Amino acid sequence: MENVIVLNSSAMRQKNNGNIQAAKAVADVIRTTLGPSAALKMILDPMGGIVMTNDGNAILREIDVSHPAAKLMLEISRSQDDSAGDGTTAVIILAGEALAVSRRLLEVDHLHPTIVISGYYKALEEAVAHTKTLTKTIDTNDDDEIRTVIKSTVGTKFVKSWSDLVCNLALKAVRTVAVTKEGQATPEIDIKRYAKVEKIPGGAVEDCQVLNGVMINKDVVHAGMDRFKRDARVVLLDSSFEYKKAESTLEIDVSKGEDYTKFLKLEREWVQKQCSAILAVNPSVVITEKGLDDEAQEIFARHGVSCIRRLRKTDLHRVARVTGATVVHRMEDIKASDVGTASTFEIKKIGDEYFTFITQDEDVPVQPKACSILLRGASKDVLNEIERNLADAMNVARNIIIDPRLLPGGGAYEMALATHLAKCSQKITGLEQKAYAALASSFEVIPRTLAQNCGAEVIRVVTELRSMHNKPGMETWGVDGYTGKLQDMAAANIWDPMSVRLQCVKTAVENATHLLRIDDVISGTTPSAGRGQRAAQEQAAGMDTQGMDVRGMNTL
């Protein structure tokens, strides 16, 4: 029978092993950034900027890839960061290893991908069930225990030299924004909206602090307004004080100068009416999301009211949480109950810019439920890395308060899973047994990578650790990330939130199974560009066989 060519000559077709190679290439890029002895990556962006970090999500966000499987690996890093806020490096390494061990099953043992996927899902179910037997629960009201967990997380970051400071900042910020609503068992903690980081180059890292209020990069709109007030009465508006202009299609013919004067008088009267409605509630600070007319500025300045305009909506909501004020939509409807209070309203000049501080004293009856975190450092690069590390620390604190169950760190949890699943695989019958055992062995990649990154004898360390985990009561033993020696993680107080580690395992295995379902990757180009032209173009563009940007990789 004659062969029929269906695809265009310019189309490229790649079998599933290309997906596995691409996923493993991504995992190999960030493998050295795991653990306290992690290496930093220096990434050059197209604009000439430099990013130095060992944060997995930040690295993968900067890398340019073209292979679809590699893009999926980048997506699971973002997914892990959005859901758990930490573990972005571990999830990529686990997913890459789960795919790497499946290659032998597909190419040597000739198992069908469906059988491999079925074995993986059975192993995942057992891993989730066994995880709950390895947990330790702490008291969420004990700040010292929470700091211990945060410190073990920060110990793998750039800011480990200031771990105590960062732990205190993260815990105070999370405690501040936590809101427990009636009928809810766990508090609602929205870090992204209500704990904003403000970075100001200069000063020392020790000058970083969590404000008992908010900090805004704004100044008063009129030179005659006060920049400091005690016990300020705050009014928040999301409407404009500017006179509403007529539509562009409207035409008005003015024949006499007196008529034009009447139009100007009507504008002033409208502004004065709006200002009178605000002044009736006796404010000392007015903050609006929109504009503020010159006439209104003069009126408020004469009455001793300080004004700030064109505030972001997110900043306006933070100020509302701090002061207890209600954002008013119509100035005519403002009531005395809408006015908030602030212990201190102050504007300071830091460097070349003015910053507004709206804070509460420590002894006020109702503490603010929003905060600003002021970061100081030698340079913008240092500040950016501190911000990334602080975000991870805050997410860990949030996860612990919501779910106080912990798992041993240092690769102890992953080795415990590998040992348990290896024993369970012997009870599995059929072809799925090989896939079950293969996934069990893939979990050893975490302790193996930790030992490798600190220069230890990898084979000896992993073999000894596997032997120890085969004995009862040794599930908390892992690898010391500094020395590469075996250590009891419970005695060393190195713990990770269960929600983060379990999410890593689920995301990694599910992503691996999705990629295993793909048997072909077909891509086409324009008819004018043939297969040889496309290969030449990719080679000239600096791409390797996995479709990853080699030039970007070289900068790592």
Q: 290 near 240, Cβ under 8 Å? A: yes
Q: How far is CA 243 from CA 90, 190, 321, 332, 444, in A?
A: 56, 37, 29, 15, 68
The string of DSSP codes covering 388-429 is HHHHHHHHHHHHHHH--EEEETTTHHHHHHHHHHHHHHTT--
The β-bridge partners of 359 are 213, 344
Told to judge if 64 belongs to the known catalytic residues of this protein, a careful annotator would answer no
Coil, strand or helix at 125: helix
Told to judge if 361 belongs to the known catalytic residues of this protein, a careful annotator would answer no
Told to judge if 164 belongs to the known catalytic residues of this protein, a careful annotator would answer no
Told to judge if 142 belongs to the known catalytic residues of this protein, a careful annotator would answer no
Enumerate the H helices of 132-256 as residue ranges. 143-154, 163-177, 191-194
- Among 33, 53, 88, 359, the active-site one is 88
Q: Which residue has the tokens 């419970």?
A: 490
The string of DSSP codes covering 439-458 is HHHHTTHHHHHHHHHTT--H
The β-bridge partners of 213 are 359
First-to-last alpha carbon distance for the chain, in angstroms, is 51
- Among 32, 33, 53, 55, the active-site one is 55
Coil, strand or helix at 126: helix
Q: How far apart are CA 419 and CA 423, in angstroms?
A: 6
Q: How far apart are CA 140 and CA 277, in angstroms?
A: 47
State the Cα angle at 56 between 53 and 58, rounded to 5°: 60
Q: How far apart are CA 117 and CA 112, in angstroms?
A: 9
- Among 81, 293, 392, 480, the active-site one is 392
Q: Which residue has the tokens 């949030």?
A: 398
Buried/exposed 194-209: b ≥16 CB within 10 Å, e otherwise: bbbbbbbeeeebeebe
Amino acid residing at 63: I
- Among 33, 89, 131, 356, the active-site one is 89
List, by residue number, the catalytic residues: 55, 88-89, 392
